Amino acid sequence: MNLYPFVMEILQVLILLAIGPAFVGWVRVLKCWAQGRSSAGLFQPYRDLRKLFSKDVVLAENASWIFRFMPYLVFGTAVLAGGIIPILSTDLPLAATADVIVLVSLFAIARFFTALAGMDIGTAFGGMGASREMTVASLAEPAMLMAIFTMSLASRSTSLSYMAQLVMSGQSVLRPSIVFALLAFILITLAETGRIPVDNPATHLELTMIHEAMILEYSGRHLALIEWASMMKLFLFTALGIAVFAPWGIASSADLLAVAAALFFMLLKLGAAGIVLVLIETGLAKMRLFRLTEFLGSAFLLATLGMLSYFILE
């Protein structure tokens, strides 16, 4: 029996767990440089996680099992998603578990439980975060689907590995539809991973929080799991974007050299993605909640334009 795909599967999950925090560290370092501050280094997220894991849990009196279950579930869906997205190799045993639509729904179930946990304690913050998160998500989801739809028109598939393989096989040139879909995807990624201008991951100010508001009451290992999962989520969305739009370098054969090259290209692309993210985040200000309609509306419009241009131009 061929062990190679299983080895790659395990390797991918390990990379996800290990490099997820480093990617966030990289973005923070870049941000500090861009804003003229001195940074805490690439490894600060690991130290944060270790600190949180070693602390006791402080739990509100009326927290139900949903509150305690949520961190594990969010972590679980993120790890499972890491086994499905082709990060290093397109030849994965779990790749057929889910296509892009299922993958988006996996993130949706994590969000569903996060929002419920936000409402569990019964504070105004939690409810506020839950309400805002679900509103943003419901506007982002149609745009996300349109972007995926545009990409799947060319490959006639929603299976990620297959889409990546087809792009890599070289028949794809830079088409207008891809550019539109990519722009839409970037906007949606900002919304889904809670970055500026939609949400601010660094803030704990009452009026601007979305994601942080839902997890205010968490502490100790629960908080560590949530933080880790949200770092992985940023990594996963970037990897998803890479797999769909720029998969060159991902190994498609069982070859040690190919895997090493895949690792190298992945780091390179992640580094570049971090730079793009930081440029966006330093260039923009956080938006008012009700301006988000326009923001996500334009994402939807871009994706729709991409699809129209596929039918009209290509």
Partner 1 sequence: MNPGPVDLASLSVIILLCAPLLVSLLSRSQRLLIYSGFALTAAASLLAVFAGAWTVWSGETQKLIMLIGLPDLPFHLRLDPLAGFFLVVIGLLSFFVSVYSIGYVKGFLGKRSVTSLAIFYCLFLAGMYMVVLSDDALIFLISWEVMAAASYFLVMFEDERIENRRAAFLYMVVAHVGAIAILLSFGVLAGLATGFGSFSGYTFDAMRSAHFPVEWATVAFLLSFFGFAAKAGVIPLHVWLPEAHPVAPSNVSALMSGVMLKTAIYGIIRVTFDLIRVFPWWWGAIVLVFGLVSAVMGVLYALMQHDLKRLLAYHSVENIGIILIGIGLAMIFTAFKLPLLAALALTAGIYHTLNHAMFKGLLFMGAGAVLHATHERNMEEMGGLIHLMPWTAALFLIGCISISALPPFNGFVSEWLTFQAFLLSPSLPSPLLKLLIPMGAALLALTGALAAACFVKAFGVTFLGHWRGHHRPNVREADWPMRMGMIMAAAACLLLGILPTLAIGWMDAVPQQLIGASIGTSAGAFGWMWLTPVAYQRASYSGPIVFFGILGIVIAAYLLLHVRPGAIHRVPIWDCGFEKIDQRMQYNATSFAMPIRRIFGFLFNVKERVRTSQQTVHKAFPKKLYYSLHVRDRFWGWLYKPVIRASFWGSRKVGRLQQGRIQAYLIYSFVTIIVLLVFLR
Of 83-142, which residues contact partner 1 (CB under 8 A)? 83, 94, 96-99, 101-102, 105-106, 108-109, 111-112, 115-116, 118-128, 130-132, 134-135, 137-142
Cα distance from N-terminal residue to C-terminal residue, the chain: 43
Assess 61 for contact with partner 1 (CB under 8 A): yes
Candidate list 32, 40, 153, 267; residue touching partner 1; CB under 8 A: 153
Kindly state the number of chain residues that form the binding site for partner 1, as judged by CB under 8 A: 83
155-194 mask for partner 1 (x: CB under 8 A)?
-xxxx--x--------------------------------
Q: What minimum distance in Å lies between the beta carbon of 8 and partner 1?
A: 17
Long-range own/partner contacts, residues 257-265 (CB < 8 A, 24 or more apart): 259/8, 259/11, 259/88, 259/89, 262/88, 262/89, 263/15, 263/88
Judged by CB under 8 A, which stretch of 43-51, 181-189, 264-272, 289-297 contacts partner 1?
Answer: 289-297
Q: What minimum distance in Å lies between the beta carbon of 244 and partner 1?
A: 14
Smaller CB distance to partner 1: residue 64 or 253? Answer: 64
Q: What minimum distance in Å lies between the beta carbon of 312 and partner 1?
A: 9
For CA atoms 124, 138, 70, 230, give the dihedral sign. Answer: negative
Gap between the Cα atoms of 156 and 139, Å rounded: 25
Assess 80 for contact with partner 1 (CB under 8 A): yes
Query: What is the footprint of partner 1 within residues 36-55 (CB under 8 A)?
Result: 53
Assess 207 for contact with partner 1 (CB under 8 A): no
Query: Under a CB-based contact definition with an 8 Å cutoff, are residues 266 and 21 in contact?
Result: no
Gap between the Cα atoms of 6 and 4, Å rounded: 5
Helical segments of 85-207, H only: 100-120, 124-155, 160-166, 176-192
Angle at which helix 124-155 crosses helix 292-313, to 10 degrees, equals 10
Smaller CB distance to partner 1: residue 140 or 231? Answer: 140
